[in-house]
Structure 1
Amino acid sequence: MNSLIGTYECKVDSKGRLMMPAPLKKQLSPVLQDGFVLKRAVFQPCLELYPMPEWELLMGKVNKLNRFKKKNNDFIRRFTAGLKVVEVDATGRLLIPKDLIAFSSISKEVVLSAAVNIVEIWDKDRYEQAIDDATGDFADLAEEVMGQDDDYDLS
């Protein structure tokens, strides 16, 4: 699957149903029928939507951890806490379970943000706050993360 692109604002109804934005649904069309895994994010108060093929790749790495090491076992338990397998229905809606809505403080307005191979699902106010909080640090972060490699061909 190619990298996903875009940030989309949408609404969640009172039952937790989210209409998948058409441009995002189009990008996900090759994997729509496979379903998705929806989970709590590790570092942020948002949700992560993994296309099933991406989830299976990640689980391939997790499955290599030695379960007889306590820290590995604890990590797996916490990483997979609250996982849900979800599908996009025939009308293009995704149902967000109530426990995950509570974790992410999702209200009516949400932001779906493509994050390379997954989609982050945020409460709109929390997303805007996270972006604002990161603004000052972003230049330093970008240099630290991406500025280490000087193997770009400028010819």
Structure 2
Amino acid sequence: MNSITGTYECKVDAKGRLMLPTSLKKQFKSLEDGFVLKRSVFQPCLELYPMKEWNEMMLKVNKLNRFVKKNNDFIRRFTAGVKTIEVDSAGRLLIPKDLLVFSKIEKDIVMSSAINIVEIWDKGLYESAIDNATDDFADLAEEVMGNLFENGDGIS
């Protein structure tokens, strides 16, 4: 999978189930492979990894030397709350209770593409995060992307 595109507003039912938007489902090569759902490292949201993407991430993590304390601490925190989940016959994902609590998801959510994964946010927290980042985004974009095309083979 190269990338996932789109931002979708959805609802979670009382049992923590959410219906995957049709246009998002079409972007996944296979729903049968399942997904991994985990806490985000930097934000109060969840990250939905297609299983192929998760396996590629785990190949990188598995290269870390577990006899280095920082590596071991990172692995523990990175994998905290990780759950394997599947799409049910009705096209829904079940968000486990502990991950609902972590992300403060109650009903209205936003599913937002983040290159090869999907972030799942409480709608209010998502809007707040986007609003708070507006002032700094121009500086951030320049810092992160500003030197990307120095070799002359890109666009600017």
Task: Using structure 1 for the length normalisation, give the TM-score.
Answer: 0.96
Mapped to 2, the partners of 1:31 and 1:59 lie a distance apart of 19
Give, as a single letter, the amino acid of the residue that structure 1 aligns with 2:120.
I
Mapped to 2, the partners of 1:59 and 1:13 lie a distance apart of 31
Structure 1 partner of 2:26:
26
Q: 1:144 to 1:101 in 2, by over 3 A?
A: same
List runs of 5+ in structure 1 lacking aligned partners: none
1:101-131 per-position Cα deviation (integer Å, ceiling 9, x unaligned): 0000001000000100000000000000000
Structure 2 partner of 1:56:
55
Alignment of 1:61-80 (within 5 A): 61-80=60-79
Q: 1:95 to 1:153 in 2, by over 3 A?
A: closer
Structure 1 partner of 2:81:
82
Q: 1:69 to 1:125 in 2, by over 3 A?
A: same
1:26-54 per-position Cα deviation (integer Å, ceiling 9, x unaligned): 111x1311100000000000000000000
- Native 8 Å contact 1:12 1:109 kept in 2: yes
Q: 1:76 to 1:90 in 2, by over 3 A?
A: same
Alignment of 1:1-155 (within 5 A): 1-28=1-28, 30-149=29-148, 150=150, 151-153=152-154
1:39-71 per-position Cα deviation (integer Å, ceiling 9, x unaligned): 000000000000000000000000000011111
RMSD, matched Cα = 0.9
Identity %: 72
List runs of 5+ in structure 2 lacking aligned partners: none
Task: Using structure 2 for the length normalisation, give the TM-score.
Answer: 0.96
SS in 1 for 2:76: helix
Deviation, structure 1 residue 78: 0.8
Mapped to 1, the partners of 2:9 and 2:105 lie a distance apart of 13
Mapped to 2, the partners of 1:70 and 1:56 lie a distance apart of 23
- Native 8 Å contact 1:31 1:52 kept in 2: no
Post-superposition, which runs of at least 4 consecutive aligned residues in structure 1 deviate over 6 A?
Answer: none
**Structure whose residues are more often helix by fraction:** 1
